Amino acid sequence: MESEFIELFKSFIESYRTSQDKDIAEIITKLPYEDHQRIILNINDMRAFDKTLSKGIMEEPATLIPFAEDELSDIGGRKIFLGVKGSFGEYTLNPRTLSSVYIGKMVCIEGIVTSCSICRPKVMRSVHYNPSKNVFYSKEYRDATMVTKLPVTNTVYPTRDVDGTLLMTEFGLSEYFDYQTVILQEMPEKAPPGQLPRSVEVVLTFDLVDKLKPGDRAKVYGIYKSLCFGNQQFPSRFKTVVIANNIEKTKEEEECKVVSEIEFEKLSRMKNIHHSIAPSIFGHDIIKKCIALLLVGGNEVIMRNGSKIRGDINILLVGDPSTAKSQLLRYVLNAAQLSVATTGKGSSGVGLTAAVVLDRDTGEKRLEAGAMVLADRGVVCIDEFDKMSDGDRVAIHEVMEQQTVTIAKAGIHTTLNARCSVLAAANPVWGQYKESRPPQDNVRLPESLLTRFDLIFVTLDKSNADVDQLISEHVLRMHMLAQGYEEEGMGVKQEVFRAYIQYCRQKKPALSREAAGLISKEYTLLRQTKDKKEQIVSITPRMLETMIRLATANAKLRLSDVVEYDDAECAVNLIKDSLFQKVVKPGKRIKIVASEEKDEFDLVDEKGTLKQHLEATMIDEDKVNFVSHALYDYSADRKNPRVLEINDFMKYLGTDISVTEQEVEAVLTGLAEKDLILFENGRIYLLN
């Protein structure tokens, strides 16, 4: 078998040519002139040359690979390792599907690195000196983690010769190689619901050490082996590891093949694409819009000096219980390509970032990644954020702005990437949001942490008979949809929306001068505002970066290559809505009364009329009266006068009227703020 394999491999390397028409000798010549270099060959090329060759590599790698490496070393004149890659078919596995069937086989394991040991030297050949006899002794060491055609030796380190004379170790003449172990865990999003993710230990040697760090997603090609460590209590139980042969880091962005680009273009023209986020939840239109921007993200900027400006968006939801905060987080977990969920009470500071732990088998210190490191290039959803202790919250300060985790403890000093968005949900200090108190007293989180959130939203559970009726109708409608009924306006399907979000993330729009000018102007005005008490958080220079991130994300959501003026205006409006959310106690109910003589809306309230309320919008009074009159006429002609579609209403108004869509929406927003109507999700709800 060995001789046949050697002849086949010789014929293969003689006929092998790369896409640049280079042979094996040319490839080896280009490698750095150091021992223990590795040449990577594609198993597909071997399979195309002769299936016996590829089958031998897959079925008996520990026996045949050393012979192949000898042939490569003869060509290069130094030790050359053989690494393989390509399509492994049934041998492409994950830590959960690994079983005893694959022991001794070459496998391809895909997962995420959760823990790394320190890189240590391992002795390969020791040299000892006997001063009394002036004689040198040497001993070679081969264990089960080494791929060699020679038999395994015992690992007893000699300290005396056969006569009992003490030996001196010549460390300079001894030979060592680098050795490291990592834990490869199955992808969190691919683990079956309700089950813990499985993991497998991977042994890295020679040139493969320090190629992986916690949080990396990688494919590891290697030999699945069982090792016996002389367990006296369970002699028939063996430890299994993967002896790495080659490593490939997986791409950060997966290709979107679910939907065609034509469909993506259609979705980009949808103004209310964010309605596809958690359609089972009634309202929260602005929050859903911002979550869509969070999923898309802005552009990460790397300066010439190496410093980085994050492009990920962080959002905090604060509000009363049962206002769908956790449900929004759960939807994001399903919509994002990479997401990790955690809770404030069940997570510590090191659990969110990284920790140094001791290996149970070897006693060595090992670096273990936390939730934010595992969610690199993804989203971290933290529920019950207010339940975290102050010490644990301090640990995520660096992650939320610099997007790195710096570890300096137990002799380990390193920096890990944690480039993720944070979506957190918290309850007010007193359980219920107290409207009589300023926002700062209700939230009561450190200013240094609040300013790291780009947007902070307050959700309230107000008692309102009309709104409660609409919510109940919406919930019942969702149950009817679950039973097979269909209804338009529920947004796109989740798998299509997920593919669209992934496609949007690949865009890199540039900031236009018009958008930059508006952002600069609005930021200056916000810094000069005098109404500090109504702000949830202080206006800091970080707010300027927030405007740019939101505007860029909005341009991505439209699949635009340029951040336009409208994108910047949308970002400014979202920030203002987040900053100046005024929680007002519900006053006397405002009624819409249709006068028989004037046939207009009579808008009465203790605090004034709609005309006074809309003076700041600079909309002509005639246009306000026209929209109000048209809304009354349009509702009277409908079968269901309480629920109206904004698009149908705009068609009813016609194109020959000198009133824009923005002016109509401004009038409707004014009516909604006076509790005359409810205007959200592209629908108008008339309240009795």
- Residue 106 main-chain phi, psi, to 5 deg: -85, 125
Residues 6 or more apart whose CB falls under 8 angstroms from that of 146 comprise: 205
Structure tokens at 544: 């300027």
CA distance linking residue 462 with residue 469, whole number of Å = 13
Domains of the chain: 1-87 (3.30.1640.10), 104-249 (2.40.50.140), 261-485+492-579 (3.40.50.300), 612-686 (1.10.10.10)
Beta strands in 550-682 (DSSP E): 562-563, 592-594, 601-603, 643-645, 677-680
Q: What is the pLDDT of residue 369?
A: 78
CA distance linking residue 382 with residue 365, whole number of Å = 28
Structure tokens at 331: 């939807």
What is the chain's length?
688
**Can you give the pTM of this predicted structure?**
0.64
* pLDDT per residue as tens digits for the range 535-588: 667 788 888 888 999 999 999 988 889 999 999 988 988 888 877 654 333 333
> Where are the alpha helices (H) located in 528-564, listed in sequence order?
542-557
Of 8, 63, 72, 4, the closest CA to residue 41 belongs to: 72
* pLDDT per residue as tens digits for the range 302-313: 888 877 888 889
Q: What is the pLDDT of residue 108?
A: 92
Mean pLDDT of each 10-residue bin along the chain, 688 residues long: 80 75 73 74 86 87 86 81 88 88 90 85 88 86 82 80 84 88 84 79 89 86 81 63 90 54 77 77 81 89 81 87 80 82 69 73 72 84 81 78 79 81 84 71 78 84 64 64 48 79 88 90 80 66 89 90 90 82 36 37 41 50 74 70 76 67 79 72 70
* Local structure of 272: helix, strand or coil: coil
Q: What is the pLDDT of residue 107?
A: 92
* pLDDT per residue as tens digits for the range 399-436: 888 888 887 776 777 788 888 888 988 888 777 777 76
Strands 412-417 and 308-309: unpaired
CA distance linking residue 420 with residue 373, whole number of Å = 8
SS3 for 222-259, per residue? EEEEEECCCCCCCCCCCEEEEEEEEEEECCCCCCCCCC
CA distance linking residue 576 with residue 572, whole number of Å = 6
Residues 400/452, Cβ–Cβ less than 8 Å: yes
Residues 552/509, Cβ–Cβ less than 8 Å: yes
Beta strands in 434-529 (DSSP E): 455-459, 510-511
* % of residues, the chain, pLDDT over 70: 78
Of 400, 297, 315, the closest CA to residue 574 belongs to: 315
